[in-house]
């Protein structure tokens, strides 16, 4: 498969990057988490443990999908 980007890092490189995560409590209960650096990377969960597991899975799937499509993967912002 040919990609749009002539030179880019390996999939493993992108999967090891640490992105800032924003977590919002929901008024009805539970949480919503998102990674603003990865547009559309958002999930929900009922407990803090569940939301962190869900956002990690969403992050990995987001990166793998974008990588396989040959699109650019944004680097993490400096919001740590």
> What integer pLDDT is reported at residue 1 of this predicted model?
44
> What integer pLDDT is reported at residue 78 of this predicted model?
75
8 pLDDT above the threshold of 90: no
- Whether residue 6 lies inside any domain: the answer is no
69 pLDDT above the threshold of 50: yes
Quote the strand ranges of 1-80, DSSP E.
Answer: 22-25, 31-34, 42-45
- The CATH number linked to 16 is 3.30.160.250
- Whether residue 3 lies inside any domain: the answer is no
Q: List the domain range (segments joined by +) for residue 30.
A: 11-68
Could you identify the residue written with the tokens 């493993």? 12
Highest mean pLDDT among 1-5, 6-10, 17-21: 17-21
User: Could you tell me what percent of the chain has a pLDDT over 70?
Assistant: 89
- Whether residue 76 lies inside any domain: the answer is no
Mean pLDDT, all residues of the chain? 91
Domain count, the chain: 1
Spatial separation of the C-alpha atoms in residues 70 and 63, rounded to whole Å: 11
Q: Any residues with CB less than 8 A from the CB of 44 and at least 6 apart, and which?
A: 26, 30, 31, 32, 33, 51, 54
């Amino acid at each position: 498969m040919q990609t749009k980007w002539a030179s880019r890092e390996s999939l493993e490189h992108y999967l090891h990057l640490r992105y800032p995560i924003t977590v919002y409590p929901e008024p009805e209960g539970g949480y919503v988490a998102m990674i603003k650096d990865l547009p559309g990377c958002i999930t929900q969960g009922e407990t803090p443990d569940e939301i962190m597991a869900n956002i990690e899975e969403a992050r990995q799937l987001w990166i793998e999908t974008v990588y396989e499509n040959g699109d650019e993967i944004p680097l993490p912002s400096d919001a740590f």
